[in-house]
Structure formats: C-alpha cells, structure tokens
Copies of this chain bind each other. A is one copy, B any other.
Amino acid sequence: MGQCIVEPPISWLMTAALSRPKLISLAAGFTDNASLPVTETRTLLDSILHSNKTGQPALQYGSTAGDSKLRQLTAEHLQKLDGKRGKNYATGRTLITGGSQQLLYMTLEALCDTGDIILVEDPTYFVFLSILQSRSLRARGVRLERDGLDLAHLEKVLERLKKSGQLRRVKALYLVSYFQNPTGVTTSFKKKSAALKLLKKFERAAGHPIYLLEDAAYRELRFTGQDVPSALAAGGAAERVIYTGTYTKPFATGARVGFGILPEPLFTAVKRIKGNHDFGTSNLLQQLVARALATEIYDRHVVRLQKRYAQKARVMKSALEKHFPAAIEWWESEGGLYFWARLPKEISAGVKSKVFSTALKNDVLYVPGELCYADDPSRAKPDNEMRISFGSASEENIRKGIARLGKVLEKFV
C-alpha cells in the first residue's frame, strides 16, 4: 500500500452525526442549514441553464486552473477584502479547486517529500493533520495564544529544529488565521507579518523557501469586529505566501468550490497536480459561484449569514453561561463556527474519556480537542479540551445540546 492510511477522525464524526437522529451534534463543522442559499442557487443556475449560450459551456469541460472569469473575480474579491492590489493578487496566481481542502492536499503534494516537516498551530485543523499523517509528513506544533500564534514559541521551535539539523526538512508554516478551527482564535496582521519575517530569517539555514500557508476558510464568517488583512498584504509575501480560501463556508456549501493563490513555481506545480487529480473543478459549479460574485447575490448572502451566525453564537454563549460549570474556561470568537472549552487539566475529554462517552450516551457530540493536536514528540497532547460548534445545530438544539453537555460536565468537574 502506497499510503499510511488510518481512519481519519472526520469520517466517523460525520457518520455519527448523520446516522443518529436523536443526537445533537455540536461536533460537525457543517454550515447552518436554514441559511443555505437555496433560492439564490436556484435562480443563478436557472439563469445559467436558461440558454444554450451560457448553459453549454457550463456543462462542458473547462481548463485545469479554473474558469477565467471566476479566477478574476476571486482575485478581485481578495483585493477588496485586503484593501490592496498588486501581483500578490494576480488572476494568474489564482487556482480554483474542489473546496480549499483539495488545495491543501495538492500543495503538500507539490511541496513535500516523505519525512518533511510542517509547522502547525497547536491545536490545528484535524483533517490537515490527517493529510500529513497519510503522506508520512511530520508536524511540529507552535503554541497558540488568545490573539494568535505565539511568536516567541515559533522562534524557539525553529531554533530547536535548526540545532537538531532538521530545519532543511521544514517546508511551511500552516496557519488557520481567521476564527481558527478548532479554537476560534484569529491571528492579527502584525503577528502574520512577524511570522513571515521569522520564517525568512531561517531560510538560509533551511536552504530553501519556507512558505506561510494561510488557510482563510472562515474569513468571511465574521460577525463582530473588523476584518484583518491576509498575509498576502504583508511585506515579503509575494513569493512566500500561499493563501487558500473557499466559497463553501460563506456561500453554497454543497457546491464545494474553493481556491488558492500561489506564487511560482508552486502555482504551476499545483496546477499540474490538479491536471492529474481531475483536470479541473466542475464548470457548472464554477459558473454558479462566478455569477453569485458578479451579481450582488454573494455579498448580500454573506451579510445575512454573518447576522445568522452572530445570533447562533449569542445563543451558545448564553447557554454556556447558564449550563457550564464555572471551572470550565471557554473562548468565544468574533466569527466562524466554533467555541473552544477547556476543562481542568486533570479531567480528560478525549475520545476514550468518560466525559466523551457519557456525552454520547446523553446524545450530544463534540470534537475532542486532542484530535486537533499534532503528533509532536516535544510535548504531551492536551486532552482536556473540546471544540463546540454552533454551525449546523438549530438555536433550540444549541440550547438543548449545551444543557446536556453542561449536565454531563457537572458530574466530572
């Protein structure tokens, strides 16, 4: 067998969520059902398929890098978000993919050989860890503070890798920079810029570029505060920042259209890999998203969505205040889909813990925080944390689910 294949945690979490009708899942990273743009998608597809002139191209193969209009609109969209222009945002650097997940996978394929090291936030997105594992790549965790990456720790990790002669295996720092999955933490622009400088500093010893791979999947799901520019807007970003984003979270989830902005030679390498994977994402879905962006449908939907998630986050916050024991610390976020809770150190909330099994028995599911920690020999995995999502559950189920979970926790804390 060509890969180190283990069951990825997301599979059984998703299956559990889909197969137990009474279960309230605060685990799934699904988006909110009620706010999915059903009518909007119908209108857009109807207008595309109304005539052969636009219908036939949408139902034909396209090119590997993606629909040129969508690539352009995507590049412009990012320029607008960042309030900046320039080559960092060129259409020619923009690649359309089957969700941003596919871009993460292909970027690692392009960048890494077996045994290479990717620096990740500690904790981080667990499917990313699953990719690393399957490709026999190693992860090293960088501590996360309430306001993002711990820069002092990043430097320490890099120094340690340099000393042990492993810096030449380090290919990138992976950053889920907005309302991070799983913690909800956002890394400030200042920190992103500083991280980029730090990586640059160690490049000479590494003997090759060390990229900043910024995963901005949740960026547009902000419901309070101001947007933060991406790392693309930082000094030195042009040749070192890979930005991945998606239309899956802020718009039509089931369409699974994502994108990436990549500097050369990575853009070409990843495009060629895409040629081998599937030689291009569904043209029909690309036309759908392009038309949503070109009209005001996309922007209007994002505003509605932000309000909706703001409301659901408020509901979860009140429920947490009401039902969670005081000994449990939790972080709220300014956007995204998640709250992050931390039990006292001595109490495990991991996959094999009593807390987790008792919660399941009481028909409530969360993501055990330990799944979000890389296998890193330099520290033990914390197992006293949980990711709690308000994404897919209804307001009523958020209240009920947190009440159930609170009751379970009362027994252990």
CB distance from A114 to the nearest CB of B (A): 8
Nearest residue, chain B, Cβ from A51: B38
A161: CB under 8 A from chain B? no
In the complex, which of the residues B5, B57, B60, B127 contacts A31, with contact meaning CB atoms closer than 8 Å? B60
Give the size of the chain A interface in residues (CB under 8 angstroms): 76
CB distance from A393 to the nearest CB of B (A): 13
Nearest residue, chain B, Cβ from A283: B254
| Interfacial chain B residues near A127, Cβ < 8 Å | 275-276, 279
Q: Which among A36, A60, A63 has the greatest number of chain B C-beta atoms within 10 A? A: A60
Q: How far is the CA of A63 from the CA of B14 in the complex (A)?
A: 7
A42 touches B49 (CB 8 A): yes
Q: How far is the CA of A18 from the CA of B116 in the complex (A)?
A: 38
B58 touches A254 (CB 8 A): yes
Using known A-B contacts A131-B276, A269-B1, determine if residue A252 contacts B284 with beta carbons closer than 8 Å.
Answer: yes
A394: CB under 8 A from chain B? no
A3 touches B255 (CB 8 A): no
Q: Which among A6, A42, A46, A59 has the greatest number of chain B C-beta atoms within 10 A? A: A59
Q: How far is the CA of A60 from the CA of B108 in the complex (A)?
A: 27
B33 touches A56 (CB 8 A): yes
| Interfacial chain B residues near A272, Cβ < 8 Å | 5-8, 11, 134
B273 touches A5 (CB 8 A): yes
Q: How far is the CA of A281 from the CA of B277 in the complex (A)?
A: 13
CB distance from A211 to the nearest CB of B (A): 12
Using known A-B contacts A1-B110, A49-B41, A272-B7, determine if residue A61 contacts B253 with beta carbons closer than 8 Å.
Answer: yes
A377: CB under 8 A from chain B? no
CB distance from A380 to the nearest CB of B (A): 26
A279 touches B110 (CB 8 A): no
Nearest residue, chain B, Cβ from A276: B131
A105 touches B49 (CB 8 A): no
Q: How far is the CA of A110 from the CA of B284 in the complex (A)?
A: 29
CB distance from A58 to the nearest CB of B (A): 5
> Could you mark each residue 231-264 of chain A with 1 if its beta carbon is under 8 Å from any beta carbon of chain B, else 0?
0000000000000000000001111100000000
Restricting to A1-57, which residues have a CB under 8 Å from any CB of B? 1-3, 5-8, 10-11, 14-15, 18, 28, 30-31, 33-34, 36-39, 41-42, 45-46, 49-50, 52, 55-57
Using known A-B contacts A45-B45, A59-B255, A61-B30, determine if residue A278 contacts B38 with beta carbons closer than 8 Å.
Answer: no
| Interfacial chain B residues near A14, Cβ < 8 Å | 61, 63-64, 279
A186: CB under 8 A from chain B? no
A254 touches B62 (CB 8 A): yes
Using known A-B contacts A15-B63, A59-B41, A102-B278, determine if residue A3 contacts B273 with beta carbons closer than 8 Å.
Answer: yes
CB distance from A28 to the nearest CB of B (A): 8
Q: How far is the CA of A84 from the CA of B91 in the complex (A)?
A: 50
Using known A-B contacts A3-B269, A99-B278, determine if residue A38 contacts B10 with beta carbons closer than 8 Å.
Answer: no
Nearest residue, chain B, Cβ from A53: B38
- A and B contact pairs by CB, cutoff 8 A, 19 listed: A1-B111, A3-B273, A5-B110, A5-B269, A14-B63, A18-B63, A36-B59, A38-B56, A39-B49, A41-B49, A42-B45, A57-B254, A59-B252, A61-B254, A98-B282, A130-B276, A255-B282, A256-B278, A282-B282
Closest 8 CB pairs of A and B: A38-B55, A42-B49, A254-B283, A59-B254, A36-B59, A254-B284, A256-B282, A8-B275
